[in-house]
Amino acid sequence: MSGLLGSIAGPHDVKRLAAEELPRLAGEIRDLLVDSCARFGGHLGPNLGVVELTIALHRVFDSPRDPIVWDTGHQSYVHKVLTGRAGGFDALKQEGGLSGYPSQAESEHDFVENSHASTALSYADGLAKAFKLRGERDRTAVAVIGDGALTGGMAWEALNNIAAVKDLPVVIVVNDNGRSYSPTIGGLASHLSSLRVNRRYEDFLDYVKDKIGNVPVLYDALHGVKKGVKDVLAPQVMFEDLGLKYVGPIDGHDEQAMEAALRKARGFRGPVIVHALTQKGRGYTPAENHDEDQFHSPGAFDRATGAEKPKGRIWTNVFSEELVRLGKEREDLVAITAAMLHPTGLNAFAEHFPERIYDVGIAEQHALTSAAGLALGGLHPVVAVYATFLNRAFDQLLMDVALHRLPVTVVLDRAGVTGDDGASHNGMWDLSILQVVPGLRIAVPRDGDRLAELLREAVEVTDGPTVLRFPKGPVAGSVEAVGKLGEMDVLLTPAAEPDVLLVGVGPMAQVCLDAAALLDAQGIAATVVDPRWVKPLDEALAPAAAVHKLVAVVEDNGRVGGVGDAVARLLRDAEVDVPVRTFGIPQEFLDHAKRAAILGRVGLTGQDLARRITEAVARRTSSAAEPARR
C-alpha cells in the first residue's frame, strides 16, 4: 500500500506524523473506505464521518492499553486502518477477510465485538472500575457513542453509574451527526440539535476570558454563576447535572481541535464527555447528498456516481407493500420502528399514514412496551425490527405484551443466517427463545405469497401476540401447496409408501423439496410439509408422523430449543414413537460470510440433507432387520 497509509502499522505510527501530514492521511483513508465499500458494500457513511475523530483518538490515547470501545462497532473501520489493517480492506466483510465490526480475533486493539447499540458506556464503566481496583492509574477507558445510540436506555443507565464515581477514568466521545440510520429522533435529539447550532455560550466564555482573565475575584464570581448562564445559553447543563464534565461542542472534522479536547479530557482523570459534531458521509459527495441515510450501509455501488447495484425484489419489499395495503383497510393498524424506518420497510407505511408511525429511536425495549400500551388503547401495533435485535426486548414481549394477551404483531426481518455482518447479526435465536412465551403465535413464510398471507392472518389475531419472521435477501419464488394437513401446507406427497416426513420451516421448505428429489433417486419416499405457523404446531402433525419411519425438521435457526425440539415434544406428548432429526444452525457464533456459504457450511442444503437422511434411514432399516437375521 502506497502513501502515508503504507507507513501505518499501528497507532505509534499515527502519533509520529506531523500535524500538517494529517489532512493527507485523512484523505487517503477516505479513498480507501470508498473504494472498499464500492466493491463489497459496508457501513460507509458512519466511517467517513469519524476519520479525523479517530485519528485524534489514536494520537492522544495509547491503544490497546487505553481501550477504545465503539458504539456501535460499525463505525470502527478507520480504527481498523490505524491499527495496522489497511491491507485487509481488499476483502472487507468477505469470508476470511476483515469483519465489518470490531473483532478480537483480528486485533488486540478490538476490545469488544459489539454491533448492538447503547452498550459501550457500560463496557467502559466496567473497564475503568477494573483499572481502578487493579491500581492501573495510568489507563483510561474510552467510549465512542453516537447520538443515535444515546437514544437507548442502557446508555443512560451507564451514564448514571459512571457519574457516581468522580475519579473514574472514562472519556466519553459523543459522535453527534444527528443520525442513526436516519435522522435521530426524540427529546434527546432536539436537545443535542440545539447545541449544534448555539454558539452563544462558547462566545460568552471567550469574551469573559479575554476581558477579565487577569481579575481572579471577578472571574471566580462569574464562574460561580456559570450554571445559570448555561441554562440560558446552552443545554449542555444536562450532562453536567449528571455530574459529568463536559467539553464541547467540538468540530469533529478539525483534527487539531479534537486532539486538544481529548488531551484535556484525559488529563481530568474523571468521567468527561467530549461532544464532537460530525457529518455522516463526509468527503464523498454521493453520501453527503443521500437524504435517506447518507450511505449508512449501502451494497456495492458505482464509485463515480454512488449508484447502488440493483438488489432485485427482497423479502422486505413484500412486507412493506402488504402492510400498506392492510393500513388502507384497517384504521387501527399502527407501526413502530426502532430507528430503522427504511431498513425494515416501514418507510412506505410512513408515507401513506404519517400519523400512524412511531420511531422510538434505538430503544427496542420501549418499542415493545409502548406497543403494549397502544394495544391496550384499542389499536393493533406492528413492531418491525431485525431478528437479532428482538433479543433485547424479550422481557417486554414476555411480561408486558404476552402476559396481558395483547394483539401486537412483531415482524422480524433478517431472521436466520444473515451472513455478512457476522455473529451478532445472525437472527438465529428467535425461534428458540420465543418458544417459552405463553400464548404467542409464530408464523414463518416460505415465499413472498405466504409472507403476505401470514401477515394478514397475524394482524387478525386479537387474543395475544404474533410474530412473523423472514430472511435477508431476494424473496423466494412461489412454492404452491399440493394439499393441506390440518392448517399446514403439503408441498409434496410421494407416490410410494412414505418413508420420511420432511418439515420445512419457512424458506427451508424449498431445501426440503430439493432433498426429497435426491432421496427419491435413492428409493426413499418423502412427504414435505410447511407448517406455516410453527407455534403452536398443528396437532395434525402427530398422526402424519406416525405413518413415516423418520421425521426431519429443517430450520434456519439454532438447533437448541427451536422448532425441531417443539416437534419432538409434540410427538412425545401424542405418544408417537417415530425418531425426529433436527437440522438447523449449530449453537455457535458464526464467522461472517455470504448467507449461501454459511448455509452450505452448516449443512442446510438439499444435497447435505439428502445424504444425512439417507444414512439415518439406512441405520434404522438395518436396526429393524437385525432381529429377523438372528
Provide the annotated active-site residues. 280, 364, 392
Q: Distance (Å, rounded) from C-alpha 208 to C-alpha 215? A: 10
Nearest 5 degrees, angle CA 401-CA 407-CA 410?
Answer: 75
Residues across the chain: 630
Class of residue 348 by CB neighbours under 10 A (exposed 0-12, middle 13-18, buried 19+)? middle
* Cβ count within 10 A of residue 264: 15
β-partners of residue 483 are 490
Q: Are 491 and 529 in contact (CB under 8 A)?
A: yes
Q: Are 69 and 143 in contact (CB under 8 A)?
A: yes
Name which of 481, 545, 513 is nearest 609 in CA terms: 513
| Sequence-distant (≥ 6) Cβ neighbours of residue 493 within 8 angstroms | 482, 483, 527
Run of H or E including 233: helix 226-233
425 a known binding residue?
no
Q: HSE (CB half, 13 Å, CA atoms) of 100?
A: 29
Q: Are 36 and 92 in contact (CB under 8 A)?
A: yes
Ranges of H-type helices in 334-436:
347-352, 364-376, 387-390, 394-395, 430-433
116 a known binding residue?
yes
147 a known binding residue?
yes
Nearest 5 degrees, angle CA 407-CA 412-CA 416?
Answer: 140
Q: Distance (Å, rounded) from C-alpha 56 to C-alpha 37? A: 23
Reading across the β-sheet that carries 68-71, which strands appear in turn? 68-71, 141-146, 170-176, 272-277, 245-251
149 a known binding residue?
yes
Name which of 12, 86, 61, 283 is nearest 172 in CA terms: 61
Per-residue cell: 414? 433478517
Q: Distance (Å, rounded) from C-alpha 380 to C-alpha 461? A: 9
* Cβ count within 10 A of residue 70: 31
Name which of 559, 591, 599 is nearest 113 in CA terms: 591
Q: Distance (Å, rounded) from C-alpha 100 to C-alpha 197? A: 33
Nearest 5 degrees, angle CA 89-CA 93-CA 99?
Answer: 85
* Cβ count within 10 A of residue 7: 14
148 a known binding residue?
yes
190 a known binding residue?
no
177 a known binding residue?
yes
Q: Work out the angle between the directed axes of helices 255-268 and 22-40 (0-180°, nearest 10).
A: 100
Distances (CA, A) of 91 to 2, 41, 305, 567: 18, 11, 22, 41
317 a known binding residue?
no
Q: Distance (Å, rounded) from C-alpha 176 to C-alpha 190? A: 12
Distances (CA, A) of 614 to 444, 483, 499, 611: 27, 25, 10, 5
Distances (CA, A) of 418 to 42, 314, 346, 421, 531: 14, 13, 20, 7, 22
Binding residues for Mg(2+): 147, 177
Residues making up the annotated binding site are 74, 115-117, 147-149, 177, 284, 364
Summarize the annotated binding site for thiamine diphosphate as residue ranges: 74, 115-117, 148-149, 177, 284, 364
